[in-house]
Structure 1
Amino acid sequence: MNSDLNKNPNAGNLLISEPFLQDENFVRSVVLLCENNEEGSFGLILNKPSILHLGELVEELSFLDNEVYVGGPVEQNTLHFIYFDENQLNGSVSIGKNMWYGGEYEELVEKLKLGIIPSEKVFFFIGYSGWGPKQLEEELNENTWIVCREDIDDLTLQNTEEDLWKVLLKNMGGEFKVLANYPLDPRLN
């Protein structure tokens, strides 16, 4: 695998778990990297839906039926969100073209109620994925993750959440396309 691709991932890049990763938290996962610096890294798993819906978790958003995803194994008592919009909420951090992480929660609720931000353009996560200083760099050097620098949009997430891992690898082509077809358990092949 080309290890140069795994150098210096930035916010907005995707971390695709290699097919042999056996950590139950990250098997066939796609993590949106939200921050990566000398203090550590954090991101959100995009393709791990929980059994919960937003209205069941947050009273002021009970009018929404959005699925909630498991963002990762860290602090699963926290709620995080990303959204796709041309305009930024106060306190949001840009992580891609018209893609934002977090921001002022009350402003988000108000804009969702008014339909200014359509609910299908907001994705909610319980917990997050985190790495200490240099930890992600070490995992990248061990080829635990494949860095995908492809831009994603809300339609990508809406239409491929279960197959996102496979779709992204196929789109990367070459050796990655071969990995996309690797069986979950090769002993059953």
Structure 2
Amino acid sequence: MNETPNAGNVLIAEPFLGDPNFERSVVLICEHNDEGSFGLVLNNVSKNTIADVVDDIYVEFPLFIGGPVEQNTLHFVHRLGHLIEDSIDLGNGIFWSGDFESVKSLLSIGSIKSEDIRFFIGYSGWGAGQLKNELAQNTWFVSDINSDVIFEEYTNQFWRTVLKRMGGDYKVLANYPVDPRLN
């Protein structure tokens, strides 16, 4: 399914990708147009929590590294579009961004569970035509995804899980070792 991605699709790194920023990554595409693409790596958990980077948030929700670009920025995806104003609907129950003050308020009263939101520092970005070129080189697989997979799957095996769900040859690739020379 190596097609042009839409917002709400994921890019799954092919198993031989040599870029350490994206090795075995699954990237949620939040925006894709002629000017470029913006996404968030779903399976790169940092050692910090959201409470470590935002002073007035006290929950210990995991903080993910969304990509190598501007790691001084904070982003979030969630499945609470009805609760968070200005959320961008990516489809399949996935929402990107929204009013951060609302998020902080909802966190402070316990109305948001960790399985309903993911916070990211940094993002993944591609300039005009860059992602199209990478797709032509078979660097990424493109797939649909739903909120249950994003928010409920164990992140350590996330890359494998997403490939297995795609079935067929992708299921075989999911079991490919990180370094085949060690087999």
> Under a length normalisation based on structure 1, what TM-score does the superposition of the two structures give?
0.91
Percent of aligned positions with the same letter in both sequences? 49
Q: Which amino acid aligns with 2:15?
A: P
The answer on 1:33 being equivalent to 2:29 is: yes
Report deviation, 1:174.
Answer: 1.0
Q: Distance in 2 between matches of 1:122 and 1:156?
A: 9
Q: How far 1:56 sits from its partner (Å)?
A: 1.1
Change (3 A) 1:156 1:99: closer
Match of 2:176 in 1: 182
- For 1:6 and 1:70, the matched residues in 2 are separated by 25
Give, in whole Å, the separation in 2 of the partners of 1:169 and 1:141: 19
1:62-141 alignment runs, 5 A limit: 63-141=58-136
Deviation at 1:157, TM superposition (A): 3.3
Q: What code does the residue aligned with 2:76 have?
A: F
8 Å contact from structure 2 (residues 94, 146) kept in 1:
no
Aligned to 1:43: 39
1:156: how far off?
A: 4.4
Shift of 1:13: 0.5
Alpha-carbon distance, 1:91 to partner: 2.2
Mapped pair 1:17 → 2:16: no
Is the contact made by 1:46 and 1:157 (CA closer than 8 Å) also made in structure 2?
no
CA RMSD of aligned residues (A): 1.4
Provide the residue aligned with 1:165 in structure 2. Answer: 159
Tell me which amino acid in the other structure corresponds to 2:16: F
Letter of the 2:47 partner, please give it.
Answer: I
- What SS does structure 1 have at the residue aligned with 2:56? helix
Structure 2 unmatched runs, 5+: none
2:142 to 139, 147, 164: 147
Question: Could you list the per-position Cα deviations for residues 29-76 of structure 1 after superposition, in whole angstroms to 9, with x for gaps in the alignment?
Answer: 000110110010010000000011111111110x20001000000000
Does structure 2 retain, via aligned residues, the 8 Å contact 1:112–1:119? no
SS in 2 for 1:167: helix
Task: List gaps (5 residues or longer) in structure 1.
Answer: none
Per the TM alignment, residue 86 of structure 1 is displaced from its structure 2 partner at its CA by 4.9
Q: Aligned pairs, how many?
A: 183
Instruction: Name the CA distance, whole Å, in 2 between partners of 1:78 and 1:10.
Output: 23
- TM-score after normalising by structure 2: 0.94
